[in-house]
Amino acid sequence: MQAAQPEQLRNIVITGHAGSGKTMLCESLALSMGVVNRLGSIEDGSTISDYSADEIQRMHSLNTSLLHGFWNERKINIIDTPGLQDFHGDVKSAMRVADTVLIAVNAATGVEVGTDSMWEYTQEYYKPTMFVLTKLDADRTSFSNTVEELRDHFGHLVTPIQFPAEEGLGHHILIDVLLMKQLEFCPDKPGNMTVSAIPDLYLKRAEELHQQLVEAVAETDEELMNRYFEVGNLTEDELRAGIKSALVTRTFFPVFCTSPLHLIGTERLLNGIVNLCPSPIERGPEHSLCTLDETEKLLAPDPEGPTVAFIFKTMSEPRVGEISYLRVYSGHIETGHELIDVQTSQLEKIGQVYTMLGQKKIPVEKLLAGDIGMVVKLKDAHTNDTLADKGSNCRISPIIFPEPVFASAIMPVTQGDEEKISIGLHHLHEEDPSFAIDHDVEFNQTIIRTLGETHLEIIISRLQNKFNVQVETAPIKIPYRETIRIAATAQGKYKKQSGGRGQYGDVWIRLEPAPRDSGFEFSTEVVGGVVPTRYLPAVEKGIRESISSGVLAGFPVIDLKAVAYDGSYHPVDSSEFAFKIAASMAFKSAFEKAKPLLLEPLYNLTVHAPEQYTGEIVGEISSRRGKILGMDTDARFQVVKALIPQASLTSFHQSLTRLTQSRAKYTYSFSHYEEAPQDIMQQVIAENRQH
């Protein structure tokens, strides 16, 4: 197959809320391009883009997948992405390398949580964006309401290119206000679009929407605006050119109509992708960062330029090994090519280069600048790495993944599987950097932070299927701390006689509260040699060992000062061991007198949510012993800031998801330790004394 030149390429990512019809939209585009000869189905697991066992089982996309086809002598790369919020890491990685984003919107349900999220990512990456209404042949759809909602959420620059003649069951005619033609489709047959004049019944509405379209496009360009004032209209070619440049500058967001299950609108959408969406050249050069002098360099998509390719997704496949999805930004890649990983300076020799049709790999000789494909078995390059010619130090800016906030501890079902878990998690993290792994040294817990419960379930099932290791989840242990309220003194006397040489140590300790976050300090006021200097390090060691697992509930003791100020010794029986034991006895006794208390970790919590949920969120935080610090507004969201005990964060994710139908986002970070209420203290002490 001849390598596609940059001007022939269209790189499209299809995104949207879960269930908005993305996978079937990909399927209908593939069938119309002749890539497949029949429409697959999600129910029987036969679609091109949802091919993994867990996707077929759950009937949801869980991974990015890549397919391509040709239309009007243009190569269209299509990246299908998951809609579930738990897998938005894949959405962001796919969006990073696409030139145009298609946001699928279910015409029966309108703008949903995922629609808002996708829009935010398009803003972050400054990507040309089109909306594609799906399921217009389903019951209870409303084109007008959906467009109204889109404009309400994303502004008046959202402009329809078409409207359905009739909606709901039997829908098969679109009125195209860019072409000013009626498009009739014969359901379920590819290559069936009939173009004719608009019937009188729809002409008035078509003219109104055409006028809106012309004005919206003219507003984006001074030359077009002048032309529009002179002539009162714009030609089809002028409109196309205007839309293409306005897409690039994000000053125009067209709306297309489809019913992917019956191939209605698909061919027109393919024409729209080819005629309106920018090629890599029209999109403009890519910014890269040159690490030697930290300067930015623009990379033009020139096949003759230096090779720079960016890995946006890594997966491992049984019997194949690791596969790396990449986009070539400059130059080309081909089999046998020797490149370096700019991050590590490791040499990577490129094996066979492929383009993809879901899981089917199609070998190609080379991929030119602007194209997207896949290579296998790179030695050490992973997601977010840049491959370039030797001597290059320019890398593509990395994908910034969503912050994983849903935390859970995991432990092996079978003892001794810890190493297998560690290796498995390391590999899975290379495939999916949107989850994080922490090891809590204090409790020896492995903690996984994911984007949600489903994300965690998938990681656990992949651990089992790919690495044959079973794990179970456990609550995260809270690192409480112990301290004192008042100063107290106590004597510790260790005296043991057991024939021969005995043991004798005697020391008086004073404990004093210290300022919060000051840790622990030891000093001595012993005078007159009542405790010889050589035994004082043993006294300090005895106290330090005691504070590592405190008296109340076994948690470390912080924020106090211990002073050794008196004692006695025996010239024969005293030893470092005896003084260490005596010090720990004195410490325990003084600690119990010093009105001990439990400290709990508090976290800063920030919640972004639509205004209608603010009251419930505030109530939920308060019911979890949280303290509201303030409220703010950020675009269409209210921002609630609070302090909340770590113990109350454990099930906060589920509650927030339920309260807001997943419309809220939140982040948290450690703030400080604060005294735990008496009932919590008693509960924690009781729990820890049982273990």
CB 50 within 8 A of CB 287: no
Q: Which long-range contacts (CB under 8 A, 24 or more apart) does 348-352 make?
A: 348/378, 348/379, 348/380, 348/381, 348/387, 350/375, 350/378, 350/387, 351/375, 351/376, 351/377, 352/376
64-80 pLDDT, tens digit each: 889 999 999 999 999 99
Token couple for 68: 């391509």
Q: For residue 75, which of 67, 83, 86, 87 has the smallest C-alpha distance?
A: 67
> What's the chain's average pLDDT?
88
670-684 pLDDT, tens digit each: 999 999 999 999 999
CB 95 within 8 A of CB 126: no
45 pLDDT tier (thresholds 50, 70, 90) = low
Average the pLDDT over 219-231 and give the result. Answer: 85
In eight-state DSSP terms, residue 476 is P
pLDDT of 18 = 82
Least confident of 177-186, 258-267, 531-540: 258-267
> Backbone phi, then psi, for 69, in 5-degree steps?
-160, 180
pLDDT of 55 = 47
pLDDT of 160 = 95
Least confident of 50-59, 81-90, 549-558, 585-594: 50-59
CA atoms within 13 A on the CB side of 505: 24
CATH fold match for the domains 481-594 and 600-690: no
Whether 643 has a pLDDT exceeding 90, the answer reads yes
Q: Which architecture does CATH list for 6-283?
A: 3-Layer(aba) Sandwich (3.40)
Whether 62 has a pLDDT exceeding 70, the answer reads no
478 pLDDT tier (thresholds 50, 70, 90) = very high
Rounded CA gap, 424 and 415, in Å? 16
Pairing of strands 129-134, 406-412: unpaired
Average the pLDDT over 596-602 and give the result. Answer: 94
Domain definitions of the chain by residue range: 6-283, 286-396, 406-474, 481-594, 600-690
51 pLDDT tier (thresholds 50, 70, 90) = low
pTM: 0.85
419-459 pLDDT, tens digit each: 888 888 988 888 888 999 999 988 888 899 998 888 898 89
177-216 pLDDT, tens digit each: 999 999 998 877 777 789 999 999 999 999 999 999 999 9
Determine the CATH number of domain 481-594: 3.30.230.10
Whether 162 has a pLDDT exceeding 90, the answer reads yes
Superfamily of domain 286-396: Translation factors (2.40.30.10)
Rounded CA gap, 607 and 269, in Å? 38
Q: Express the helix, strand and coil content of the chain in percent, nearest 5 each.
A: 30, 35, 35
572 pLDDT tier (thresholds 50, 70, 90) = confident
Q: For residue 577, which of 657, 133, 370, 569 has the smallest C-alpha distance?
A: 569
CATH classification for the domain delimited by 600-690, as one of 3.30.70.240, 3.40.50.720, 3.90.1150.10, 2.40.50.140: 3.30.70.240
Determine the CATH number of domain 406-474: 3.30.70.870
Average the pLDDT over 326-336 and give the result. Answer: 94
Q: For residue 77, which of 104, 38, 54, 49 has the smallest C-alpha distance?
A: 49
In eight-state DSSP terms, residue 456 is H
Q: Which long-range contacts (CB under 8 A, 24 or more apart) does 267-272 make?
A: 267/32, 267/185, 267/190, 267/191, 267/192, 267/193, 268/162, 268/174, 268/176, 268/183, 268/193, 269/29, 269/132, 270/29, 270/32, 270/33, 270/71, 270/72, 270/76, 271/71, 271/72, 272/130, 272/161
Tokens 């029966």 label which residue?
108
Average the pLDDT over 575-587 and give the result. Answer: 94
Whether 59 has a pLDDT exceeding 60, the answer reads no
> What three-state secondary structure class fits 260?
helix
Count CB neighbours of 637 within 10 A. Answer: 19
Residue percentage of the chain with pLDDT more than 90: 55
Whether 636 has a pLDDT exceeding 80, the answer reads no
Q: For residue 664, which of 621, 611, 628, 603 has the smallest C-alpha distance?
A: 611
9 pLDDT tier (thresholds 50, 70, 90) = very high
Rounded CA gap, 482 and 21, in Å? 54
CB 68 within 8 A of CB 356: yes
Amino acid, single-letter form, for residue 14 = I
270-309 pLDDT, tens digit each: 999 999 999 999 998 888 877 766 778 888 899 999 999 9
- The 3-state secondary structure of 584-653 reads HHHHHHHHHHCCEEEEEEEEEEEEEEEHHHHHHHHHHHHHCCCEEEEEEEECCEEEEEEEEEHHHHCCHH
CB 374 within 8 A of CB 325: yes
pLDDT of 547 = 94
Partnered with residue 634 across adjacent β-strands are 637
> Backbone phi, then psi, for 521, in 5-degree steps?
-135, 135
Amino acid, single-letter form, for residue 578 = A
465 or 533: whose pLDDT is higher?
533
CB 319 within 8 A of CB 403: no
